[in-house]
Amino acid sequence: MSEINEELRRLIEDRESIKVVSSINREGIINSAPKGSLEISGKDELTYVEILESSKSYRNIVYSIWFDKKISILIVGKDRESYQIQGSVKKILTCGTEYEEYYRKYQEARGFD
């Protein structure tokens, strides 16, 4: 992905923005799902927490990694400004300290103990 400009950064960081991740399965069927946990991490990389390993999104993201398939992310702000980002999935975390940090942050943002 190229550098994230300030407007896109603002939209991603705004909790009221709608963020939708679209991915495909083996049969080429598209699955689009809202991801409230999408954020910028590292050097202009996007991350999100996928809670259920049995979800279509999770299975499709794993498929995207294995078979080098692209995903699409749509971000729509409250003023209807929008961006579509297309790219490749670099990694998926299922355990470990980095995963735990994201998971804790996700829970805290939603008021879970």
Would you say 48 and 39 are in contact if contact means Cβ atoms under 8 Å apart? Answer: yes
Residue 44 — φ and ψ, nearest 5°?
A: 55, 40
pLDDT band of residue 2 (cuts 50, 70, 90) is low
Residue-level pLDDT at 36: 84
Confidence of residue 39 (pLDDT cuts 50, 70, 90): confident
List the single range of 34-38, 41-45, 62-66, 79-83 with lowest mean pLDDT: 41-45
Nearest to residue 48, comparing CAs of 80, 78, 5, 91? Answer: 91
Confidence band, pLDDT 50/70/90 cuts, at residue 48: confident
- Confidence (pLDDT) at 113: 66
Contact 1, 87 (CB under 8 A): yes
Q: List the one residue out of 5, 16, 19, 32 whose CA is nearest residue 79.
A: 16
Residue 1 pLDDT more than 60?
A: no
Q: How far from chain centre, in Å, is Cα 78?
A: 19
Q: What is the pLDDT of residue 81?
A: 94
